[in-house]
Amino acid sequence: MDKHLKEISNLIKNQNRLENKKNFKIASASLICCIIDINETHPKEYSLLFQKNLNLSAEEFEKIHIEIMNDALNINENVSCIKIELKNNMFQIMEFLKILNQFAILNGCTQRSYREFELIRDKFLREFY
């Protein structure tokens, strides 16, 4: 898991590979929040996971969390943003999906969280199958 999370973190740190770092972080955090529903759990506990895995500081995570809470989550827009930033590269998309899957598993892999993951996964892969 760490290798894959490091790859995505490297994408975030590498300005040359991402055109809009902030939008990528917001879209990534939004999709993860759909899966793990941090509102039902403890947001501060997940702050460290976001910091380690998506290079989001605690302060940045809090700002993004507030932004996510104030806006209705649009999964299609977030998926589109991430696909654009990953240049629609199938390998990178699959690596990103592995990370989303790991968050679902770390959250106890409830039926609801896994259904959300599958919904998001299908939106990422729709054009490939």
User: What are 57-104's pLDDT values in tens digits?
Assistant: 778 777 777 777 776 568 888 899 899 888 888 888 888 898 888 878
pLDDT: is 97 or 127 the higher one? 97
Domain count of the fold of the chain: 1
- pTM reported for the whole predicted model: 0.74
pLDDT digits (tens, 9 = 90+) for 24-56: 888 888 888 888 766 656 666 666 677 776 777
Q: Which residue has the tokens 């409830």?
A: 110
As a whole number, mean pLDDT of residues 119-127 equals 90
As a whole number, mean pLDDT of residues 11-32 equals 69
HSE-CB for 40 with a 13 A CA cutoff: 10
What pLDDT, on the 0 to 100 scale, is given for residue 45?
64
b/e sequence 6-25, b meaning 16+ C-beta within 10 Å = eebbebbeeeeebeebebbb
What pLDDT, on the 0 to 100 scale, is given for residue 15?
43
Give the CA distances from residue 17 to residues 11, 34, 96, 125, in Å, rounded to whole numbers and listed in that order: 6, 25, 15, 21
Eight-state DSSP code of residue 107: T
Q: How confident is the model at residue 1 (pLDDT cuts 50, 70, 90)?
A: very low
Q: Look at the alpha carbons of 63, 65, 66, 68 in this order and tell me if their dihedral is positive or negative.
A: positive
Question: Domain range holding 101?
Answer: 2-128
